[in-house]
Amino acid sequence: MSRKCDLTGRKPMYGRSIQHRHGGNWARRAPKTNRVFRPNVHRHRVYIPELDQWVTLKLSAKAIRIISKKGLLRALRDEGLSLKDVM
């Protein structure tokens, strides 16, 4: 399953983890590890009352909040998408 939000387009970001130890001469060479920041993506069924149908989408937590506030069709229109783009 691809970790990408169908509405907002959020996808994994990459960065570094740096250990913050206390004491010693570690500060000159702080240990760094590569890591991944994964979006909070869920499969979610959304009802569209205008079309009287259910749609299953992969949505981030932020997108679920946007849809509950605006509705799916208006949220898609604000993002410049159509229903065919996300299905």
Classify residue 6 by burial, with Cβ atoms within 10 Å: 0-12, 13-18, 19+.
Answer: buried
Can you give the pTM of this predicted structure?
0.74
Q: What digits encode the pLDDT tens for the residues 33-79?
A: 899 999 999 999 999 988 899 999 999 999 999 999 999 999 999 98
Residues 6+ apart with CB under 8 A from 58: 1, 2, 4, 5, 6, 41, 42, 43, 44
In a domain, 69, yes or no: yes
What is the dihedral angle through the alpha carbons of 48, 49, 50, 53, rounded to the nearest 10 degrees? 50
Number of domains in the chain: 1
pLDDT at 3: 86
Domain region containing 47: 13-86
In a domain, 68, yes or no: yes
Which CATH number covers residue 38?
A: 2.30.170.40
pLDDT at 78: 92
Residue written as token pair 């749609």: 55
- Rounded to the nearest 5 degrees, what angle is found at the Cα of 34, between the Cα atoms of 21 and 23? 10
pLDDT at 5: 92
pLDDT at 18: 79
